Each structure stands twice: as C-alpha cells, then as structure tokens.
Amino acid sequence: MDRLTAMETFVCVVESGSFSAAARLLNVGQPAVSKSIALLEERLAVRLLLRSTRGLTPTEAGLAFYERAKRAIEETDEAELAARGAGASLSGRLRVCAAVTFARLHIVPAMGRFLDQYPDLTLDIVLDDRNVDLLEEGVDVALRMGKLDDSGMTARKLSEARRLVVGTPAYFEKAGVPATPAELATHQAIVYGQRYGGTAWTFRRESSEVSVAVSGRMTVSAAEGVREAVLADLGVAVASEWMFADELKSGKVCAVLKDWALPPIELWAVFPAGRMVSAKARAFVGFVEETLMSASAAQSESAV
C-alpha cells in the first residue's frame, strides 16, 4: 500500500472511530484496514492508536500524524483539482461544525442545493453550540457566532444580524410590554447559559447606554432550548433575528424595545489554524454567504 493511501486509511479510521466504519466508508474489508494501520505503525515504529472496549483513540503521536496526514491529503486534492482545471467537480468528505439552531433553520434546509451542485461531495455536519477544537474533531470549517477571541485563527466574516428582545403575544398579554430596558428587571427572562448569553443585557440608544440585570426561573445551555421556551410563552429572551426569522414575520413572536439597540451578532467561517483552506471548504463558505444574502434580500423586499 502506498504512503498516501495509508494516510487516507488512517485519517478515515480516526474520523470514523473504528476499523469497521472506516472499511465501510472506504469500501474495503475490515482486515485490509487493520493490516494497513499495522503496517503504518510498523514503518513509523510508533503506536498511533490505542484500542479499548470504548473504541479507538489516537495517541499523542497519532494525533500529530493525523493532523499532518490530513493536511497532506488536502494539498494533494488541491493539486489534482488545479491540474484538472476550474471545471472539475469537488469530491470527498467535508466536515462542518455549526451551532444547532442556526444550522437547523438556515443551513441544513439549503444543503440539497449545495449537494446537487457537487454530486461527488459528502457532508458531515457536527451540530454543537460550543466552540469545539477543530483539529481534534477533524473539522474542515466551522460557522461560529459572535466576536472571535483568537486573533490567530484563519477566519472570514460572513454576515451579522440584529439581536432583539423577543417574546410571544401571549406572554406580553400576561406580563405587560416593557417600555424601557429597566422594566425588563420585572420580567421572566429566558437566560442563555453559553457565551454571549448571561443575565446582563446592554442596550444603546444614540449616546445612551443602559445595562440591565435580568433574572428568570430558567437558564438554558443551548439556543434550541431558548427558542422553545420563548415559543412556550415562558418569558422574554435576547435572540438574533436568525433564530426567529419566520416567527417575527408571522407575528407568532414579537420584538420589543425596538428603539434600543443590542450589540449585533456576527457569523464567521473559521478554519483550522496552520492548515490550507481546501476548495471544498471555500465552496461551502461561499454557498452559505450567498444563501444568507439571498434570504436577507427577500426579507427586506417583504418588509417594503
């Protein structure tokens, strides 16, 4: 087995988590995969994988080899793509990470068009509200919300959306509509327990800035829970327009204090540090950016 094929097999084993899963993905027998890894470890004279009843875990040497092997495979793919010309189709697997609710509402429904455009491409979408380690999780590109703390990351800003105080008409009928940010202190707040959530909500209007300490009986660790709590008439929340786009349009959810502004939320495409951005990742990011722009334009037209 040649070196590149051995690297591809090893990368597939790490990302799929087992020899059997890798064998299915590579369309070969499991003994062939086991033999390939054994020969690779023998040639390198180092243990790459730890085997246990819970599955396979890369050793420190295995993780270092995985990162470089994946990079070598991507660069080989890029070289072949460049040699075949711009008209060549993208192929292989693209592993993407995104926040659960944003992906469910705005990314996953659009993926049919993306996959139709690239029929030889396979998508692996990891949904997680946390900022996962891209290298450790084998992620090619992540869609992240908010400002980026790590200035050393390779990233590209795709869009931004307003953040609003939202609730249902039924909740506001029961609790009253706040006329000022200070009145939120008397309301039931649905608190988002991740980054850019919390109980301090800061508003701006012209030169004025007001910070309000809110409280409530429910703190939720995922945006999906915040969304469902609001729709269940349980309280008010700070959320992006993306989270309630359809409900704001239909009136099922209302925004209040609209003459006050909250800091907008940014959407970034983030790539693993030290790794060349693949053509597959660039195509996906371009598609997401185009999709959001089209949705924003349609929303603006409907508002006129």
Which residues lie across from 202 on neighbouring strands?
Answer: 211
pLDDT of residue 87: 46
Taking residues 229-249, report their average pLDDT.
95
Domains 89-158+265-304 and 163-263 share a fold: yes
pLDDT of residue 304: 42
Closest by Cα among 266, 301, 232 to 163: 266
Q: What is the pLDDT of residues 145-181, one digit of tens each?
A: 887 766 566 888 899 899 999 999 999 999 999 999 9
* Spatial distance between the Cα atoms of 256 and 200, rounded to a whole number of angstroms: 17
pLDDT of residue 185: 93
Give the predicted TM-score (pTM) of the model.
Answer: 0.69
Q: Amino acid identity of 102?
A: F
Q: What is the pLDDT of residues 11-65, one digit of tens each?
A: 888 888 888 888 888 888 888 899 999 998 888 899 999 887 667 888 888 888 8
pLDDT of residue 98: 93
pLDDT over threshold 60, residue 301? no
Residues whose CB is less than 8 angstroms from the CB of residue 9 and which lie 6 or more positions away in sequence, other chains included: 1, 22, 26, 33, 36, 37, 40
User: Does domain 1-84 fall into CATH 1.10.10.60?
Assistant: no
pLDDT of residue 155: 86
pLDDT of residue 258: 93
Q: What is the pLDDT of residues 85-110, one digit of tens each?
A: 554 567 888 999 999 999 999 999 99
* Spatial distance between the Cα atoms of 221 and 229, rounded to a whole number of angstroms: 12
* Spatial distance between the Cα atoms of 141 and 14, rounded to a whole number of angstroms: 18
Sheet strands (E) in the chain? 49-52, 55-58, 91-98, 120-127, 141-145, 154-161, 163-167, 188-192, 200-205, 208-213, 215-220, 237-240, 254-256, 265-271
CATH number for the 163-263 domain, one of 3.50.80.10, 3.40.190.10, 3.40.50.620, 3.20.20.80?
3.40.190.10
Q: Predicted confidence band at 215 (pLDDT cuts at 50, 70, 90)?
A: very high
* High-pLDDT (> 70) share of the chain, %: 90
The CATH number given to 89-158+265-304 is: 3.40.190.10
**Domain segments of the chain as ranges:** 1-84, 89-158+265-304, 163-263
Which of 26-40, 75-89, 231-245 is predicted with the least confidence, judged by mean pLDDT? 75-89
Taking residues 71-88, report their average pLDDT.
67
Using alpha carbons only, give the angle 5, 9, 14 rounded to the nearest 5 degrees.
150
